[in-house]
Amino acid sequence: MRRAWCLALILGVPAVGACRRPQPGDPLRGLSAAERARFDSGRVVFDSAFTPEIGLGPLFNQRACGECHEAPVSGGAGDEVERHAAAFHPERPGGGRACDELVAQGGPVFQDSVTAALRTALGIDNEPVPPEATATAARTSPDVLGFGLLDAVPDSAILANADPDDRNGDGISGRPNRFFDGRLGRFGRKALVPALRDFNDGAFQIEQGITSPSVPAEGTVAGRPFPAGTDPAADPELSARGLELTDAFVRLLAPPAQQRQSREARQGRDVFTRVGCANCHVPALRTGDSAIPALRRKEVAAYTDLLLHDMGPELADICFGLATPSEFRTEPLMGLRLMPRFLHDGRATTPEQAIELHGGEGAKARDLFRALPAADQAALVAFLRTL
């Protein structure tokens, strides 16, 4: 009897596990034991809260990665909103780049929290935005589920959807952003960051004030060095191993599985394409080669083209790299049902509001949505709620 029970466990449980839809926070399917171990260990680092004694600050937004990327699981979205700022001078008489990310003044991210030591030394509660800024921006924390797959999409697949001069005349002119070293960007609301590893490594310093072998120097406070004695931990404050494990956790998080679609949702999927949403929210991208088999040549239903689009003056805020104030990367819609708020700054509380706020290249699809019968509008939203 006991033997039979054990056999059922050995044979049955893996089979059930393999059939189960991935839940938010699960790893990708098909990981090796070593990859799974790195994923599990990385989650621990991701959720670890830092203190000033082990490196937090002196400026920071949160104490742990998992404090922002928290709902409904580690790696999910968050309700925190942080401040970015930049100066945009499209016709700069002095001959600089049109976009100044205010790096020399502490930008582009201006942290909202300080350690007690920095507060005592400077009497500030956050990093001040310099007067040179022409705009500030609010940024919510997106979920990072499935981002390893987005990282594995080859540049050529992104560029294949680019149409910067709108040669096909459809009113959509997606163009790529580029990082300062020339690489194609894809991560961040303005698609500036070219690689997931870069995003993760940089975030330790920007969000938590944690130095590492990848970013060995502390930042500045409004462009000036931190006062002596305000940063007691020796650099680097996080090891290369800590960076690698965190990256493994984020990279190997499975994308949220699409939910079973009702008849209404299936109709909504057709409406989504018919009104033109899919022109920018491209339903699927395909990954290229990867050292990790679970990321290699997979289709990822991300509903993004990872390109910049002009979204009109109502949504415009800061420039970033090549992105003008009104240009934003098409937001991935995978995991939409898990998002507490919508758009880059969380100003929309429902998908309908988010659609209504589309301008610029999104205006045509928005207007077509407005003109739909109520049943078709409801179907489209029902479809979005399955993602």
Whether cis (ω within 30° of 0) applies to the bond prior to 72 is: yes
Closer of 239 and 350 to another protein (Cβ): 239
**Binder among 44, 116, 124, 375 for another protein (CB under 8 A):** 44
Report, in Å, the least distance between residue 370 CB and another protein: 31
Residue with smaller CB distance to another protein, 201 or 331: 201
Q: How far apart are CA 96 and CA 247, in angstroms?
A: 35
**From the list 62, 115, 141, 205, which residue makes contact with another protein (rule: CB under 8 A)?**
205
Cα 163–Cα 285–Cα 17 angle in degrees, nearest 5: 165
Under rule CB under 8 A, residue 134 binds another protein: no
CB atoms closer than 10 angstroms to residue 189 = 20
Q: Which of 41, 126, 261, 262 binds another protein (CB under 8 A)?
A: 41
Sequence-ordered strand ranges (E) for 231-341: 285-286, 299-300, 308-310, 327-329
Smallest distance from the beta carbon of 43 to another protein, in angstroms?
A: 9
Q: Which is nearer to another protein, 323 or 333 (CB)?
A: 323
Map the footprint of another protein across residues 73-112, applying CB under 8 A.
Answer: 92, 94-97, 100-101, 103-104, 107-109
Strand partners for 59: 114
Q: Which stretch binds another protein (CB under 8 A): 20-28, 115-123, 155-163, 224-232?
A: 155-163
The residue among 127 and 376 lying less far from another protein, judged by its C-beta, is 127
Q: Is 9 in the site for another protein (CB under 8 A)?
A: no
Crossing angle of helices 196-208 and 240-252, rounded to 10°: 120
Q: How many residues bind another protein (CB under 8 A)?
A: 66
Q: Residue 81 or residue 372: which is nearer to another protein going by CB?
A: 81
Residues 322-361 that bind another protein (CB under 8 A): 322
- The interface region with another protein, picked from 39-47, 64-72, 125-133, 282-290 by CB under 8 A, is 39-47
Question: What is the helix (H) or strand (E) element at residue 364, kind and residue range?
Answer: helix 363-370
Query: Which of 70/207 has CB closer to another protein?
Result: 207
Among 22, 48, 72, 340, binds another protein (CB under 8 A): 48
One-letter identity of residue 71: A
Say how far apart CA 84 and CA 384 lie, in whole Å.
29
In Å, how far from its chain's centre is CA 114?
24
Provide the token pair at 136: 């500030």
Residues 231-290 that bind another protein (CB under 8 A): 233-242, 245-246
Q: What is the DSSP string of 171-208?
A: S---B--B-TTSPBP-BTTTT-B--HHHHHHHHHHHHH
Q: Is 45 a residue that touches another protein (CB under 8 A)?
A: yes
Task: Decide: 88 and 135 in contact? Cβ < 8 Å.
Answer: yes
Region 160-189 residues binding another protein, contact defined as CB under 8 A: 162, 164, 175-178, 180-184, 187-188
**Smallest distance from the beta carbon of 146 to another protein, in angstroms?**
18
User: By three-state DSSP, how is residue 78 classified?
Assistant: strand
Sign of CA dihedral 30, 336, 198, 119: negative
Q: Which of 25, 40, 134, 312 binds another protein (CB under 8 A)?
A: 40
Q: Where are the beta strands (DSSP E) in 246-363?
A: 285-286, 299-300, 308-310, 327-329
Q: CA angle at residue 119 from 115 to 123, to 5 degrees?
A: 160
Q: Phi then psi for 130, rounded to 5 degrees?
A: -75, 155
Of the candidates 237, 218, 234, the one whose C-alpha atom is nearest the C-alpha of residue 226 is 218
Shortest distance (Å) from residue 103 CB to another protein: 5
Which residues contact another protein by CB under 8 A?
40-41, 44-45, 48, 50, 54-55, 92, 94-97, 100-101, 103-104, 107-109, 155, 159, 162, 164, 175-178, 180-184, 187-188, 192-193, 198-203, 205-206, 213-217, 219, 233-242, 245-246, 308, 321-322
